[in-house]
Structure 1
Amino acid sequence: MKTRTPPPTLTEKYSGVPPRLASIAQQAKDRLYSHRTAPESIPRRHDVRLPPDTTREAFDEAIRMLRQALGPENVVLNDQPLVDGWYLEHPNTHDAFHMVDQEDLVCSAVAYPGSTAEVQAVVRWANEYEIPIYPISIGRNVGYGGSAPRVPGSVVVDLGRRMNKILDIDAENASCVVEPGVSYFALYEEIQKRKLPLWIDTPDLGGGSVLGNAIDRGVGYTPMGDHFANHCGMEIVLPNGELLRTGMGALPGKGGADNPTWQSFQPAYGPYSDGVFSQSNFGIVCQMGFWLMHETDHQSYMITFARDEDFPDIVEAIRPLAQKRILGNIPQLRHVAQELNVTGLPKSHWYSGTSPIPRDVIRKHASQLPCGDCSWVFYGTQYGDEASIKTQLDTIKSAFAAIKGYKFFLPFDLPTDHYIHSRALVCSGVPVLRELDWLNWKPNAAHLFFSPITPTRAADAKVVHEINVRLHAKYGFDLFPTLCVAGREMHYIANIIYDRSSASEKRRAAGLMRELIAEAAREGYGEYRTHILFADQVAKTYGWNNGALMRFNETIKDALDPNGILAPGRNGIWPRKYRGKGWELFGDSVEMAIGGTIAPKL
C-alpha cells in the first residue's frame, strides 16, 4: 500500500491530529486512498460561483472591501480546483461528500475572521452588499453537508482557522470556554497537558469542533453525552452585527471582567434564549462554555444477541435500565453487519456481489469474528468505583439474561484490534479516529445519515427499523443502524454509504433518504438532524397546526435578519428575501439536481 503525504498534526495545524495518533491517521488515510478509483479533482467548468443577484463587477468591489476589513490574505476566492480530500484534510469550499455535483453547492469565497470584532465586520459587510454568508466552525459536519452553503455563491465564513483558542479551563468549576476552531482533539490534549483530572465528552470522531457539534445538537457517550445540554454561556454575533451574551454572561462582571457565574448557571433571568441559536441561522456563535466531567473509574463491555427478532426484547430490556440510570452512559446498539464494517475491510472482501450483502453471508463471516454468529451488538460503559461497577454490571446481566443466547464480553476477552477498545476510549472522553474505517466499505465512499428519534420502546423502534430494512433493500443499500439509547428516546442513526463518483448511486441514495424521511414522518417519527439538501423536507414534517413552528422560526428570522444574509435555508429556515421563490427542495428535487444544478425553480 502506497504511503501518502502525512496528515497534519495539532502542532502544525489547529484542525490536525494529536501526535499520539499520527501513525494511526497515516494508516487510515492510506487505506482510504487505496480504495479510490476517482481522481482527487476534476477540472472546473466554471469560474467563481457568484452570489444570487450579484454581478461580477459588484462582487469584485465587495470582495475588495472585505479584504480591507480582514486583510487580503484572509479573504480567498473559490476559483481553484475542488479537492474532496478526506476527514483530516477536508475542504471548506464545498461538500467533500457531495450528493449533487461537486461544483454545485460551492461558495464564492472564504473569509477568515480572527476575532469576534472581525465577525461583526463580516456581518455588517454582508448587510451592506447584500451577499449571503455561511459560517462554519471547522467544516467537518460530514454526512450532513460539510462546509457547503445551502445557497451556492455564499461567502463561507470559516471561524476555525483564526478563532481556535481555548479561552479558559476552570478546574474548580469543571468548565471551559472555547472558540469555534477548538476540536475535541485540541481540548483533550490541553487538559492532559495541564494534568487536570477532567474528561471531555467526545463524539465518535475527535476532529470536529466542540462548539460546532454542540450547536448542531450532536451527541457523545459519557454521562454528559448531550452536548448542548451541557453547554453554559454563549457569545453571539447577531445578523445585524450586534453582540449578545446569553445566560449569566448578560450580567457585566466586576471591572469589565467576565461574570464569574457565566459557566455555572445556564438560564439566568428572563426567557432562556440559548436554544434558538442551536440548529438555526439566527446568529454566529463565537464563544461557548461547556461543563466538563470529573474523571472516574469505568468499565466498558460488549453484549451480543443471537437473533434478528430479539430486537424488540433488547429495547424493552434497555428502557428500565436507562430510565433508572443504571446504564452509565449513552450506549450503542448496533447490527452485527457493522462488526464487518468497522474492521476497515471493503465490502468486496466479504461479498463479491453488487446487491446488499445477504444475511447468510453476514452470518457466515460474523461467526469467524470475535462477536460470533449473532445479530445485535450492544456497547456500554459503567462508571464509579469497583464495587458499584460490579453491582451495575450484575443488574445489567440479569436484565439481559432473559434474552436467550446473549453473551457478555469485557475488553480483555477480545483481541487488541477489536472495536471495543475504541469504544472504551470514546466512553472515557478520549477522542479517536477509528470510526473512519466505515468509509472503506466502498470506493470513493461518502455517506448520508438518516437520524430519526423514537421513544425507547420496542413497538416504536420496530416501526422505524422495519421502514429502514424495507427501503434499504428497495434502493439497494446495505443497512448499518446504530441506536444511541437514552431513557426515553433513542437516536436511530442509519449510515447510507454511497460511491460519490457514481451519479446513479447518488440518485438512489437521495431517493432512499427522501422516502425514509417521508415514511418515518407518516408514522410520527422525525429526524433530529439532517443533510442540508433535505432540510426543507424534514422541516416541513414538523407541520403541526399548519406549520406553527416554522412560522415562529420565520418570524424570528425576519426580525433578526431582515436582509436575509445569514445562512439562508439552513435547517429549512428561509428569510423573506428567499422564501417562496423556488429555493426550497421538496419531492424528488435532490435526485433531479444530481448531474444538474441547485438553483431556484421559479
Structure 2
Amino acid sequence: MAHEEAKARIPVLPETHSGIPTYLLAKAERAKEAIFQTRTKPTNDRQRLPVIPQGIERDKFFEALDDLRKRLGAEYVEVNDKPLRDGWYMEHPNTHDCMAVLDEEELVASAVVYPGSPAEVQDIVEWANKHLIPIFPISMGRNLGYGGAAPRVRGSVVLDLGRRMNKILDINPDDFTCLVEPGVSFYALYEEIKRRGYDHLWVDTPDLGGGSVIGNTLDRGVGYTPYGDHWACHSGLEVVLPTGELLRTGMGAMPGNNTWQTFPYGFGPYSDGIFSQSNYGIVTKMGMTLMPNPGGYESFVHKMYTFPNEEDLEALIEIIRPLRISNILENVAQLRHVTQTVAVSGRPRTDFYTGDGPIPQDVIRREAAKTPTGDCAWVYYGMSYGPPNIRQHKLALVDAEFRRIPGCRRVDPAVLPEDEYFWSRDRVAAGVPDLHELRWCNWMPNGSHIAFSPVSPIRGADAMRLWELAKRRHDEFGIDLFPAFCVGLREMHLIIEIIFDRDDPKRRKAAMDCMRAMVDDAAALGYGEYRTHLVLMDQVASTYNWNDGALMKFNEKLKDALDPNGILAPGRCGIWPKSYRNRGWEMLKESGERSEGTGIGDVRVE
C-alpha cells in the first residue's frame, strides 16, 4: 500500500482545491519521492472501529450521524473507520496528525463532514448542540508541526471546510484586497491573481504555500514580505458562532457596506481578535489585503550573508534591530543556523553521521564547506524592494553594518545552483509560493517535526539566552538543533524545529520531553510562545498566568457565554468549556501524554 501511495498522482490546481500549481509539479514529484524513500513506518492496515467521543453512547452516535446525513447528504459525512494513512504534505489526512508526536490513535477524529456553505455550517453547529457531540473545524488541515488536522478531543467530528468552501469570492485590483473562503490556499490565490493578469498585486506567503489563507491567518502565521504579519493584514470576518448565529465583523456588520476589506474596525468594540487562536467561532469568509508590486525587487544579491562563529549571534541581532525598526531591512529577515542549511538539502542525517547524540558541529561545518554557502555558523536572508537607487542605498547601509562582524561573507547568487535553498527564499520574499522548505524533514526516517516558537525583543542578550537554553536541552535529549530567528519590526520569533522519527516511540518521547522543558525554561526567563502544537496548548496557556490566571479566567467566561454546551473545539489553545474543566483533560508536563480526561459534565443549554 505504501508503494501505491508513493506512485499516486499528485493533485494539481485547479482540478482540486488542495492541489499543487503546475509550475511546482516537478518539484513536488521529487519531494514526494524523497519522502517515501526514507519512510520505514509500516502502513497502518488494521481494521478500525471509529473512536466515539466520551460521553456519547455508540448507538446514539451512529443515530446522530444518520441525522447529519439527512441534513447534508450522505456523501458529505464520512466515518473514520479505515486504516490511517499519513500521506505527505500535498496528500495529507484530515482524520489525524500525519506527523503524530503521540500514538497516532490518540488525537483522531470519529468522522469527517464537508459543509458547502455558511448555512450548512450553521446546520452542523445546531446538530452538534442537539446531540452534544464535539466538533473541530479545519480549513485545509496543513498546520503541520502544530497538530495538522487532528482534533484536540479524541473522537471529535472534524469539519473539513476546505473541500467544498474554496472559492475566491473577490479580488479587487484597485483596493488591493481579496475575499476568500477557508479552502483557498496561498497557491490558489497566487494562481488566480496571475490568471487575471493582476501583475501589480502580490500575495504574502509563508514558507510553504499549500496552507489555507484563512487558517494560517487565524493562527497568526507569518510570511516574508513587508506584509508578513498576516493577522494585521486581514480585514473582515464572517463567523458562525457555537450557538449557530451568523455574524460579520467590522464594516461587514452594515448591510451593503463597501469597505469591509479596506477598513477592519467598523464601529464599537473590535471583536475580530477573539476569533484568532480560539474556539469561539467558525470563520467562513475573510478579507485580506494584498501587497502592491514594488516595481521590481532585488534578489538576494548583496543580501545573503554568512557569519563564521556561533558567538556572532549577539552582535548580529544588535546590528539587525535598528536596521529592521527603521525599515532599512524591509521584510521579515531570517537568521538561520548552518545545520538547517545542510539539512535542507533533503539528504538524510545518516549521509553525514551515524553516531548517537546531536550531530557534532565539526561534521556540520565540514559538510557546509562543500556547499556554495560555505563553512559558517549563521546564514542571513533578506530582501530589498523598490526603485534601484533606493535599493542600492539601503543595501550599502546593510553591507557596511554586517561587515563589522569579522569573517562576514557576502554570497554571490551567481555561484548558487538552481536547487539551492537560497532561491526558495528569493521566491517567497517576492510573493511566489514555493514547496522547498520541508526538505529538512528527510533528516530522519519517517521525518516529522514539532515547533518551539518563543517571541522576544530584538536584542542580542535575549537571542543568546534562548539559543543557550535550546542548545542545553537539545544536548540533554540527544536532538539536533535547527534554530531560525525571524525578525519582525519590534520582536523576533525563534522557530526551532525538532525533527523526529514518528515510528520510534523513544524519539517521539525525546521530542516531547525537550519541548516541554524548553517551554518551562523560556517562561522562567519571561519568553512566551506565540503558537504551539495541540498537545502543548495547555502547558503554553498556563504560562500566561499573570494575576492568578486572569487572562484564562476571562477566556473561559467568553467560552461559556458563546458556547454554553461546549461543542466547538474544546481544549483548543488551552480553552476548555465548563463541562470539561477539572476532569483531567488538560495535558501538562506532570499529567503524562494521554489526551483524554475522565468524563464530561452535563451542562446542556437548550
Q: TM-score, normalised by structure 1?
A: 0.97
SS in 2 for 1:229: helix
Query: CA offsets per residue over residues 273-317 of structure 1, 9 Å max, x none?
Result: 111100000000000000001112112231101111000000000
- Which of 23, 28, 44 aligns to 2:26? It is 23
C-alpha displacement at 1:6, in angstroms? Answer: 2.4
- Which of 579, 595, 599 aligns to 1:598? It is 595
Query: Counterpart of 1:565?
Result: 567
- Which of 47, 50, 65 aligns to 2:49? It is 47
Letter in 1 for 2:573: N
Q: Say yes or no: does 1:267 pair with 2:265.
A: yes
Query: CA offsets per residue over residues 387-444 of structure 1, 9 Å max, x none?
Result: 1111110010111111111111243242222111110100011001001211110100
Query: Counterpart of 1:190?
Result: 192
Q: How many residues align?
A: 590
Q: Distance in 2 between matches of 1:549 and 1:110?
A: 33
SS in 2 for 1:150: coil
5 Å matches for 1:361-372? 361-372=363-374
Query: Counterpart of 1:256?
Result: none
SS in 1 for 2:231: coil
Query: Counterpart of 1:472?
Result: 474
- Which of 216, 220, 225 aligns to 1:222? It is 225
Q: Say yes or no: does 1:311 pair with 2:345.
A: no
Query: CA offsets per residue over residues 7-60 of structure 1, 9 Å max, x none?
Result: 11113311010111111111100011001111232414x411001110111101
Q: Distance in 2 between matches of 1:72 and 1:105?
A: 25
Q: Distance in 2 between matches of 1:417 and 1:598?
A: 41
CA gap of 1:588–1:410, structure 2 versus 1, over 3 A, is: farther
- Which of 155, 161, 164 aligns to 1:162? It is 164
Contact persistence 1:107–1:156 (CA under 8 A): yes
- Which of 103, 121, 137 aligns to 2:139? It is 137
Q: Distance in 2 between matches of 1:272 and 1:598?
A: 34
Q: Which moved more, 1:135-144 or 1:56-65?
A: 56-65
C-alpha displacement at 1:588, in angstroms? Answer: 4.1
Contact persistence 1:40–1:85 (CA under 8 A): no
Q: Distance in 2 between matches of 1:511 and 1:407?
A: 37
Letter in 2 for 1:64: D
Contact persistence 2:166–2:182 (CA under 8 A): yes
Contact persistence 2:162–2:183 (CA under 8 A): yes
Contact persistence 1:514–1:588 (CA under 8 A): no
Any gaps of 5 or more consecutive residues in structure 2? 600-606
Q: Say yes or no: does 1:298 pair with 2:301.
A: no
Q: Distance in 1 between matches of 2:38 and 2:589?
A: 33
C-alpha displacement at 1:601, in angstroms? Answer: 4.9
5 Å matches for 1:435-474? 435-474=437-476
Query: Counterpart of 1:70?
Result: 72
SS in 2 for 1:448: strand
Query: Counterpart of 2:87?
Result: 85
C-alpha displacement at 1:372, in angstroms? Answer: 1.3
Contact persistence 2:202–2:290 (CA under 8 A): yes
SS in 1 for 2:311: helix
Contact persistence 1:320–1:487 (CA under 8 A): no
Query: Counterpart of 1:515?
Result: 517
Q: Distance in 2 between matches of 1:422 and 1:96?
A: 24
Contact persistence 1:215–1:277 (CA under 8 A): yes
C-alpha displacement at 1:211, in angstroms? Answer: 0.5
Contact persistence 1:132–1:154 (CA under 8 A): yes
SS in 1 for 2:169: strand
Q: Say yes or no: does 1:238 pair with 2:241.
A: yes
SS in 1 for 2:380: strand
Letter in 2 for 1:298: Y
C-alpha displacement at 1:164, in angstroms? Answer: 0.3
SS in 2 for 1:280: coil
Letter in 1 for 2:489: G
Q: Distance in 2 between matches of 1:304 and 1:250?
A: 50
Query: Counterpart of 1:125?
Result: 127
SS in 1 for 2:182: coil
C-alpha displacement at 1:373, in angstroms? Answer: 1.2
Query: CA offsets per residue over residues 487-541 of structure 1, 9 Å max, x none?
Result: 3210000000000000111111110010000000000001000000000000000
Query: Counterpart of 1:406?
Result: 408
SS in 2 for 1:453: strand
Q: Distance in 2 between matches of 1:419 and 1:392?
A: 24
Query: CA offsets per residue over residues 436-456 of structure 1, 9 Å max, x none?
Result: 211110100111000000110
Query: Counterpart of 1:417?
Result: 419
CA gap of 1:466–1:601, structure 2 versus 1, over 3 A, is: farther
Contact persistence 2:587–2:595 (CA under 8 A): no
Query: Counterpart of 1:585?
Result: 587
Contact persistence 1:558–1:576 (CA under 8 A): yes
Letter in 2 for 1:599: E
- Which of 206, 211, 234 aligns to 2:209? It is 206
Letter in 1 for 2:87: G
Letter in 2 for 1:175: T
Contact persistence 2:235–2:262 (CA under 8 A): yes
Q: Which moved more, 1:349-358 or 1:61-70?
A: 349-358
Any gaps of 5 or more consecutive residues in structure 1? 254-258
Q: Distance in 1 between matches of 2:61 and 2:419?
A: 53
SS in 2 for 1:233: strand
Contact persistence 1:337–1:480 (CA under 8 A): yes
Q: Distance in 2 between matches of 1:5 and 1:127?
A: 39
Contact persistence 1:4–1:29 (CA under 8 A): no
Query: Counterpart of 2:483?
Result: 481
Letter in 2 for 1:242: E
Q: Which moved more, 1:6-15 or 1:48-57?
A: 6-15
CA gap of 1:601–1:459, structure 2 versus 1, over 3 A, is: farther
SS in 1 for 2:328: coil
Query: CA offsets per residue over residues 297-347 of structure 1, 9 Å max, x none?
Result: 112231101111000000000000001011010011000111101111111
Letter in 2 for 1:62: A
- Which of 37, 40, 44 aligns to 1:37? It is 40
Q: Which moved more, 1:556-565 or 1:397-406?
A: 397-406
Aligned-CA RMSD value: 1.1
C-alpha displacement at 1:368, in angstroms? Answer: 1.3
Q: TM-score, normalised by structure 2?
A: 0.96
Q: Distance in 2 between matches of 1:245 and 1:411?
A: 47
Q: Distance in 2 between matches of 1:208 and 1:554?
A: 29
Q: Distance in 1 between matches of 2:439 and 2:304?
A: 19
SS in 2 for 1:577: coil
Contact persistence 1:180–1:212 (CA under 8 A): yes
SS in 1 for 2:494: strand
Query: CA offsets per residue over residues 192-247 of structure 1, 9 Å max, x none?
Result: 00110200000000100000000000000000000000000000000000011001
Contact persistence 2:240–2:247 (CA under 8 A): yes
Letter in 1 for 2:66: R
SS in 1 for 2:67: helix
The percentage of counterpart residues that share the same residue type is 54
Q: Which moved more, 1:580-589 or 1:112-121?
A: 580-589
Query: CA offsets per residue over residues 450-498 of structure 1, 9 Å max, x none?
Result: 0000110011111111000000010011000011102321000000000
Q: Say yes or no: does 1:113 pair with 2:115.
A: yes
